[in-house]
Structure 1
Amino acid sequence: MIYSFSNSGFRDPETGVYNQTYFMEVFHREWYRHLREQQSLALLYLSPLLPGMINQPHLLDFFTGRVQASLLRATDLLARLNQQLFAVGLFNTDEAGTRTVLERINLQLREFSAEYKQHHGIGLDYRIAACLCLPNTDIKPELLFIEAESRCMKNDRTNNDVLHITGN
């Protein structure tokens, strides 16, 4: 793969998805737009659980490709936050829409794990968490990130619960 400098400012070089800086800028802008227009949005955190013995450079690229394939709207945003964590921003969505996306991601990643296990003898697992919010002046956007990360780190992959974040 030839590295493209045209995307270097906002793309993660290993996976090709958006980087944390770009995601945070877009999410912050969308937060205030949703606050003005009284629309809800969702934040999903996704953590692939890769066995330490696997040394395949394109594994995360394939993993994120499957997640990206489950995001059907042009406004849905996938980004890499750090080595172990990815975020998905779903804008102008409700609980049913968030659950639909969660189901599509789970389906894609189960298929990917089965294919990987068939070829390499070991499946891949992941954790996922979702927080849905109707922004208001009592809630800071950081709360969504804190809650999503906390839930993701303790969830198992079969958990499709959507946490509703509300203000006081």
Structure 2
Amino acid sequence: MIFSFQNASFRDHDTGLYNQAYFMEVFNREWHRLIRDQDALTVILVDPHVNLRDEQQKILFVELANILKLQTYRSTDLVCRFNDNYFALGLFGLNQGGTNVIIERIQAAIKTALGESFGAVNICYGAVNVHPNDTVNIEMFFQETLGVLHAAELNGVNSFKITQYTQH
């Protein structure tokens, strides 16, 4: 078997999604474009609460990656594996209402795909919508998104939370 280097540098080898480095590169480019266009974006962090050392849960992780990819319809939407155990979605040119629609669509697709096994998983979503500008620190924005994910986890199993980013 001959190894192909096509896509090897920006794809996660386990899930086939974009890797975090590529996600951040595209995110930074889109951030500056949206500043010029005065448009919004949303980042969704997804925590599937899986133990990747367990083979069955690793299979579930890959299945969830495929579902996330299939539920983002626009060519500008970006899905990646983030910090090993999470997924990140970059939804550019999208407001809070559109974010809600996408999260509900993802939840419905996961519920359909897993069937009766759905009750055995705990997938939480933290989403933050922002209108990028030169004063917003991207690192602080991602910290805020992680905080929103943790707040969603406090709301219970399979929950989500969406907020609008405001500078502190």
TM-score range, shorter chain: 0.7 to 0.9
| Contact kept in structure 1, 2:123 and 2:159, CA below 8 Å | no
Q: Paired residues, what number?
A: 164
| Contact kept in structure 2, 1:136 and 1:167, CA below 8 Å | no
In 1, Cα distance between equivalents of 2:92 and 2:138: 13
Matches within 5 A, 1:1-168: 4-50=4-50, 54-56=54-56, 57-114=58-115, 117=117, 123-156=120-153, 158-167=158-167
In 2, Cα distance between equivalents of 1:82 and 1:52: 12
In 2, Cα distance between equivalents of 1:81 and 1:160: 18
In 1, Cα distance between equivalents of 2:111 and 2:24: 28
In 1, Cα distance between equivalents of 2:40 and 2:7: 30
Give me the TM-score of the superposition, normalised by structure 1: 0.86
Pair 1:3–1:100, CA change in 2 (3 A): farther
In 2, Cα distance between equivalents of 1:35 and 1:142: 16
- Which consecutive unaligned segments of at least 5 residues does structure 2 have? none
In 1, Cα distance between equivalents of 2:12 and 2:53: 23
Q: Share of identical aligned residues, percent?
A: 32
- Which consecutive unaligned segments of at least 5 residues does structure 1 have? none
Q: CA deviation at 1:9?
A: 0.3
In 1, Cα distance between equivalents of 2:52 and 2:11: 25
Q: Which moved more, 1:135-144 or 1:46-55?
A: 46-55
Pair 1:50–1:114, CA change in 2 (3 A): farther
In 1, Cα distance between equivalents of 2:25 and 2:77: 14
Give me the TM-score of the superposition, normalised by structure 2: 0.86
User: Could you say what the CA RMSD is over the residues aligned between the two structures, in angstroms?
Assistant: 2.4
